[in-house]
Chains A and B, each alone.
Chain A
């Protein structure tokens, strides 16, 4: 159990999930958990939290934590070692690789989950002292195209606006962003603006998402045609006289050429509609809205970024805002919504292979400047490998020593199976992790270092609006866990760089980071924390959320809400550049792989579920991996809702349960990214994703892998629910979810009742529950059910398998699992699923208040005619609101005439 730090009052910190960066107040409960509330004083969320943030208290237990360092020699198994031994082993490995193969053979793969201080030390060690620029990060998968687009247009990686602009906009365009699920708190702000001032919301997405359900106008464009749509918009704005000629003249360059190129790509509304697969009337309506609405914010996210043409898409959007001068002013501007809590911090320190440090690149002057600042003996002078290339270099044997921190590349990278296999080729693989048992930890690390987790870490993060916030500890580190910066500095000392890494506190690191941003800056670089370079330890401790650049003023450090309203870009000419996107390319499907696989997040999970997967509430919304398919595509492939399909790309294949969704654009399918080999047998969707990347940003094209679907019928389906982690019967597909009181596995596969029975009996034997074992077997009918109880009468496990078409839902059994004891009379009915009956069940819709679908249906049947009425009687939807679209749909469906 985590020992709470001796501070009974709430600690103000920042949520570790998406890039919204919500303020959280955490109060340790003294039992290892914490009470979590939104921080009303934090400008990002003003007290709101989404389902994931609200469940943070359920995700900080020690069950799955890595509590001490481990190391192995040769091919031996990982064994517990001291920190000293682990750090020695890591340092020796790096020294050995550097001596034998040079710095080009060393790489770091970092994470948008790291704190800025961790990131800064890792980047400094690699690029300044080990001499390798092969420092990349999972942020490459997230917003690299935005970075590249920003730099092309602005000369700097700058998000010009603030969240406040969402409150004050009259039009919000969401393109490639399922904001309602992925940035729920911002979506609530948008909804509030809509209610308060009638803000219109336009959603541009090939998929009719929960966000699209809330839109005033939904544009289900063809995959990858965003740039054509915005080029068409640029033409329309020009032809309609909606340009801001003054701004174009005073602050930009290249407009005429770019407009000419746009006229070739999308000369008219009709041509734009053809290019994008949209209805002409919808295109016209969008163009009209944009033209007529001064206060327009265009938000974009992975649908834009994760693309072979992601950078071009970003620039196509920026072009429209530059051409109308709608940038850096209240209620308007382009807005990249960042996926990760500290992707921005990583960008700031330069934790990317194509950046050096502090928004500086690899020009000779910049390299020299950073070298002098750091006193760096071996500074890298050229860009390193970006994520996909970096792992390809590992595969080729060029990179021999790798330190992975806070990320799970064996799951999340394209060609994830190849990435996982490549790890085994390393001479040295160091992994810093919070938890045990990840797929990446399965890649045979030589050294495993226990990293301090959220709630223990101490430092800063930067959100999508450039706002730096403190993550503050409210729990003592678990076991022997240490901050990542500490481990990095320890290795640096062992490699002879002790003086440059003599950090004792994160505040020291932050000051150095701020000082580097200010070093020889003089207004030439957007990223400037000069106002914070002299921050005292005490001021660091109490640092209020602040947006960079932060400069010193007589009144103290001043943050910056907006940039570029009057130009002042960071290109050499200080003018923004219009950039013509390349013409839209044909979708990369082939006759063999006729569909495009789109991957992305679901509402209640985060990344590879190492934390959100610990919350019963969060696991309940969508408990198992799936693929959503348009009904027509499903019919073509011979698939029906609930069937199992084999989905194959040129790089891998797996089987997923099909969910029909008419909101899926024809020709595309969608699968969530969250499942891994650690929590499923078949959910590693990353293994299918092709390695195509944007040529400029290097960001993977993770939303357009050509795939094919074919029925892969399973004879049997069912589930295992258990208090402890058990092995499901062999030979079945499984996905594990956390449940109240234990775990649940959804199961599917061939029918083998005898094998199931053998497995269940063995489980009962092994746990000493043979006396309470109950069993139903119908081998000829393909049914098998078994359950056993603990000595105190709680359900130890229940295994239920049936012919695929007859499989019962697990709700009746998960209810029993949540009980400390099942009454003896009830136990008689446990196999029937009739025990403990009563409460309306079904999948969880409102994760915040734990309200299942059945309860909502009952409320609607009982007269609740809108979401407010449902909220009034069940509280559902009244906290984070991310289930409101689903509630609304349920009301609509229930009230629709039959």
Chain B
């Protein structure tokens, strides 16, 4: 009799974990995946393409229903888990059903941040997190309509370019002096701004949102300086926070996220967490790559193998079609030497940060093909003295 393994959350992390488990621990567990969203796991990263009309929503599906069936995974979706009964080793669904677990994995993702602005609850104000948001936006987005997107990070840029792609007159407002300020330096952010503006998005930097205008539905965004940006849609895309609600309620150790160790275990040895809801060594991740790394480690552990998760070196790939932006590692420049490659005609820009003879950070704009090469160098702390001359040109050609 297989041990029941329950995964709460049906996002990309959960799908990856199932895939890894199927390869490593076939038959050892009876797996059940319980998702709040009423759909199969889908690729959230591609939401902006759906918004822009470049992809049908169906194409986001990570795995077809048949695959899940073939793996023998019990899928429960559209029904959130309401509570964890740790004493009984069971989860309680919102509809009252109980499901026993031997092992429990929390993959509950994150909540989009909703700014506590006056008028934030008006119709026409939305977040940009899931297919439901996208459906709402698509319903409201008509050519000629106007949208304001708050947030100049990954999410906001993807939402704004998606809306602009759908014909919506879109303004992106951002509190900071440059887009993606945590991932990009000023020149790369400048190039990015040009690129998104070329896609029809008006960018307003150092713009402080003060309130949503409107009485029955949103009509605009008022800035602190009093200016009102008229809008039929206001999209809050200023980031996410880990969704640790269930864990916190169940008394698991939480900080910003569910605290896990290098084995992906919470302080309850039968409960694990991964993805955006988890906090490892003080870090939470809002990106898919760390979730996948965690999924691989967790699958190995669940399969009885020895594996540990050391944390992830973050790299960011903006997913806006035709705009290639990559950022990895420490790009603060603190104590670092930098190598700069700039090609105006091609809109290419690279900045590499070097500390103690190793690459510690990289910002790429325009051509991100070498992103993973740099990520490897950063992750492995590869000494780059011998590579330095050619480093900015990417992975060396195979021996000529």
By a beta-carbon cutoff of 8 Å, the part of chain A in contact with chain B is: 770-781, 783, 789, 802, 806, 808, 824, 827-829, 831-832, 834, 837
- Residue in B342, B343, B367, B393 whose CB lies within 8 Å of A834: B393
Is B337 close to A, CB under 8 A? yes
In contact, A774 and B339 (Cβ under 8 angstroms)? no
In contact, A828 and B343 (Cβ under 8 angstroms)? yes
Is B198 close to A, CB under 8 A? no
Q: Which residue of A lies closest to B389 (CB)?
A: A806
Given contacts A802-B389, A832-B390, A834-B397, contact A780 B354 (CB under 8 A): yes
Residues of B within 8 A of A802 (CB): 389
Complex A-B, nearest 4 residue pairs according to Cβ-Cβ distance, in ascending order: A780-B337, A832-B393, A778-B339, A774-B343
CB distance from A143 to the nearest CB of B (A): 49
Residues of B within 8 A of A831 (CB): 341, 343, 392-393
* B interface residues, tally (CB under 8 Å): 20
Q: List 27 A-B contacts (CB under 8 A).
A: A771-B344, A772-B345, A773-B344, A774-B341, A774-B343, A774-B345, A774-B346, A776-B340, A778-B337, A778-B338, A778-B340, A778-B392, A779-B337, A780-B338, A780-B354, A781-B337, A781-B339, A781-B354, A783-B339, A783-B389, A802-B389, A806-B388, A808-B389, A824-B346, A827-B346, A828-B367, A832-B390
Given contacts A777-B339, A780-B337, contact A772 B397 (CB under 8 A): no
Q: Which residue of A lies closest to B342 (CB)?
A: A775
Q: Which residue of A lies closest to B393 (CB)?
A: A832
Residues 358-399 of B, flagged 1 when their CB comes within 8 A of A and 0 if not, give: 000000000100000000000000000000111011000100
- Complex CA distance for A802 and B340, rounded to whole angstroms: 14
Interface of A is mostly: mixed
Q: Which of B12-49 touch A at CB < 8 Å?
A: none
Residues of B within 8 A of A775 (CB): 340-343
Residues of B within 8 A of A806 (CB): 388-389
- Complex CA distance for A802 and B346, rounded to whole angstroms: 24
By a beta-carbon cutoff of 8 Å, the part of chain B in contact with chain A is: 337-346, 348, 354, 367, 388-390, 392-393, 397, 400
Q: Which residue of A lies closest to B351 (CB)?
A: A777
- Complex CA distance for A781 and B393, rounded to whole angstroms: 15
Residues of B within 8 A of A771 (CB): 344-345
CB distance from B337 to the nearest CB of A (A): 3
CB distance from A541 to the nearest CB of B (A): 58
CB distance from B143 to the nearest CB of A (A): 33
Residues of A within 8 A of B345 (CB): 771-774, 789, 824, 827
Residues of B within 8 A of A837 (CB): 400
Residues of B within 8 A of A779 (CB): 337
Residues of B within 8 A of A777 (CB): 339-340, 342
- Complex CA distance for A780 and B352, rounded to whole angstroms: 12
In contact, A829 and B393 (Cβ under 8 angstroms)? yes
CB distance from A636 to the nearest CB of B (A): 31
- Residue in B346, B348, B367, B388 whose CB lies within 8 Å of A778: B388
Given contacts A775-B340, A775-B343, 18 further A-B contacts (CB under 8 A): A772-B345, A773-B342, A774-B343, A774-B345, A774-B346, A776-B340, A778-B340, A778-B388, A780-B337, A781-B337, A783-B388, A783-B389, A789-B345, A808-B389, A824-B345, A827-B345, A828-B343, A837-B400
In contact, A774 and B344 (Cβ under 8 angstroms)? yes
In contact, B339 and A828 (Cβ under 8 angstroms)? no
Instruction: Pick the most buried of B345, B388, B390, B392: most chain A CB atoms within 10 A of its CB.
Output: B345
- Complex CA distance for A783 and B388, rounded to whole angstroms: 9
Instruction: Pick the most buried of A771, A774, A824, A827: most chain B CB atoms within 10 A of its CB.
Output: A774
In contact, B348 and A828 (Cβ under 8 angstroms)? yes
- Complex CA distance for A192 and B393, rounded to whole angstroms: 52
Residues of B within 8 A of A827 (CB): 343, 345-346
- Complex CA distance for A770 and B390, rounded to whole angstroms: 24
Residues of A within 8 A of B340 (CB): 775-778
- Complex CA distance for A773 and B392, rounded to whole angstroms: 16
Residues of A within 8 A of B392 (CB): 776, 778, 831
Q: Which residue of B lies closest to A803 (CB)?
A: B389
Q: Which residue of A lies closest to B345 (CB)?
A: A772
Q: Which residue of B lies closest to A830 (CB)?
A: B343
Residues of A within 8 A of B354 (CB): 780-781
- Complex CA distance for A783 and B400, rounded to whole angstroms: 23
CB distance from B238 to the nearest CB of A (A): 35
Residues of B within 8 A of A789 (CB): 345
Q: Which residue of B lies closest to A757 (CB)?
A: B340
- Complex CA distance for A783 and B338, rounded to whole angstroms: 11
- Complex CA distance for A778 and B354, rounded to whole angstroms: 10
Given contacts A828-B367, A834-B397, contact A781 B344 (CB under 8 A): no
CB distance from B322 to the nearest CB of A (A): 16
Instruction: Pick the most buried of B338, B339, B389: most chain A CB atoms within 10 A of its CB.
Output: B389
Q: Which residue of B lies closest to A769 (CB)?
A: B345
Residues of B within 8 A of A824 (CB): 345-346
CB distance from A178 to the nearest CB of B (A): 36
- Complex CA distance for A263 and B393, rounded to whole angstroms: 71
In contact, B337 and A828 (Cβ under 8 angstroms)? no
